[in-house]
Amino acid sequence: MACICLSLLASLGCRDKGESTTKYDLRKISQAYSSHFDVYKRAPGSIDELAPLIVGINLSKVDQKLEEECLARLKAGKYVVLWHQEEAKDLKEGTDVLVAYEAGAAEKGGLAVFADGRVERLEPAELERAIQRQKKAKQP
């Protein structure tokens, strides 16, 4: 089991276990956001709408535990999700549509996930620009 976890850390290109957990969580949130479009034909508007798509039915108890822990961290406020992002259905690689980011990233920088599932470290100014860009895109 330890070998699998270390392999996962290496494949995610993570500096430490905490960063790998955050990257996993953010990717899972992005996947659930995308799945919400597939199922409901619209962007999610709350944790309650996203939760059933984060914790799915898995054959692996390890995967189920990871998903449950991800949801617990989301509910505890570790991540900020940008709800009602209809632009997030654009899953083209390299999209600049932000889906979620670490709480506190607006002040000190942190990891953020885009609609294509890409996770990047953003400085506070970069995060603010991404959020403002999306707000402008929503305006008629």
- Per-residue pLDDT tens listing for the chain (140 residues): 333 343 443 344 444 567 899 999 999 999 999 999 999 999 999 999 999 999 876 668 888 889 999 999 999 999 999 999 888 886 667 788 899 999 999 999 999 999 999 999 999 999 999 999 888 776 66
What is the token pair recorded at 39? Answer: 């199922």
8 Å CB contact between 122 and 139? no
User: Which pTM value belongs to this model?
Assistant: 0.83
DSSP state of 122: E
**Closest Cα to residue 74, out of 132, 15, 30?**
30
Residue type at 30? S
3-state class (DSSP) for residue 121: strand
Residue type at 128? E
**Closest Cα to residue 85, out of 121, 27, 31, 135?**
135
Residue type at 101? Y
Q: Which residues of 34-50 are buried (b: 16+ CB within 10 A; e: fewer)?
A: bbbbeeeeebbeeeebb
3-state class (DSSP) for residue 65: helix
**Closest Cα to residue 50, out of 18, 94, 88, 22?**
88
